[in-house]
Amino acid sequence: MNASTRIYIAGHRGMVGSAIWRALEANGYTHLIGRTSSELDLRNQAEVQHFFEQEKPEVVIDAAARVGGILANHEFPYQFLMENMQIQNNLIEAALKADVSKFIFLGSSCIYPKLAPQPLKEDYLLTGPLEPTNEWYAVAKITGVKACEAIRKQFGKDYISLMPTNLYGPYDNFDLKTSHVLPAMIRKFHDACRSTVSSDQFAVAAEHLPVTLWGSGMPMREFLYVEDLAEAVVFALENTFQDNLYNVGTGEDLTIRELAEMIQKIVGHTGEIIWDSTKPDGTPRKLMDVSKMTQAGWKAKTSLEEGIRKTYEWFLQHQDSFKEVKI
């Protein structure tokens, strides 16, 4: 790699893609290529093929995907399965035809079986049933991993897959209908602190009102600040890895209840947290074994509390673009 290497970042406007773009610029790369969804429909094979013929990227980083939380996966299973396969298959096939030298495919820890031993090792892929609440997205991502592995095996190309744990950070999705757990909590606690509820005699400050969260609060999750993932991608770009699949995370987790209490404190909400146990918990635990990535020479550096504070600061700077949730 050199500063003028032609690097195409698919999904460069999203939380992950934009972080990768900023990290590459910070590391001196000057020929970055990006297209918005209105400029290039990655679901359209002909459009993608034409784009590769015109732009001739030397490296492709696939950060494009249809993503969402439990609710979105439950309501739109076909779209989560089909659109993600279309996006990644078109990119991988076009890259192979264009003789792209390096392809970095980004997936998710949900590719691993629901009840796999903890922490999750790369070898656990396809050893058991998936978590039903996000299996559609997971199946799509598994096909991407195996496609890159097949190209690596058959054609000897440097195509690798990075599987990040739960991500959060600037440009996250804070829409309560489609967001993941961490940004959804930030949004709920924030909106509660800035509302009031009127009674017959007085108005009660909303920071003292309860906030309802899904599930029991007992599942354990690991979270990675998106800027750290971006640095991992730069590291993978600049180095040759021996295997095709690597977990990317912190190697540390906490309960959803502990996460909620941390976010509540950072946001400044002082009311009660009510756990709605009628809602699904999802996988009991998802902790990544990151030893392969550590041995390769990369390690996350941002603590969870520091990352949440940075994310909330970004949220406050952009809060005018978010509609208030009625309490």
pLDDT by residue (tens digit) across 99-113?
999 999 999 998 999
214 labelled as ligand-binding? yes
Q: CA Rg, the chain, in Å?
A: 20
CA distance 300 to 290: 10
What pLDDT is attached to residue 203? Answer: 52
276 labelled as ligand-binding? no
Exposure pattern of 138-174 as b/e (b: 16+ CB <10 Å)? bbbbbbbbebbbebbeeeebbbbbbbbbbbbbbbbbb
CA distance 216 to 274: 9
165 labelled as ligand-binding? yes
- Is 225 a residue of the active site? no
Cβ contact 229:164 at 8 Å: yes
14 labelled as ligand-binding? yes
pLDDT confidence band for 69 (50 / 70 / 90): low
Q: Is the peptide bond before 119 cis (omega within 30 degrees of 0)?
A: yes
For 134-171, write each residue's pLDDT tens digit: 899 999 999 999 999 999 999 999 999 999 999 999 99
What pLDDT is attached to residue 302? Answer: 98
CA distance 148 to 158: 9
Cβ partners under 8 Å of residue 203, min gap 6: 196, 197
Catalytic choice (8, 112, 137, 168): 137
pLDDT confidence band for 14 (50 / 70 / 90): very high
pTM of the model: 0.91
221 labelled as ligand-binding? yes
Tokens standing for residue 19: 């972080």
What pLDDT is attached to residue 207? Answer: 58
What pLDDT is attached to residue 209? Answer: 83
CATH of domain 7-172+223-252+286-302: 3.40.50.720
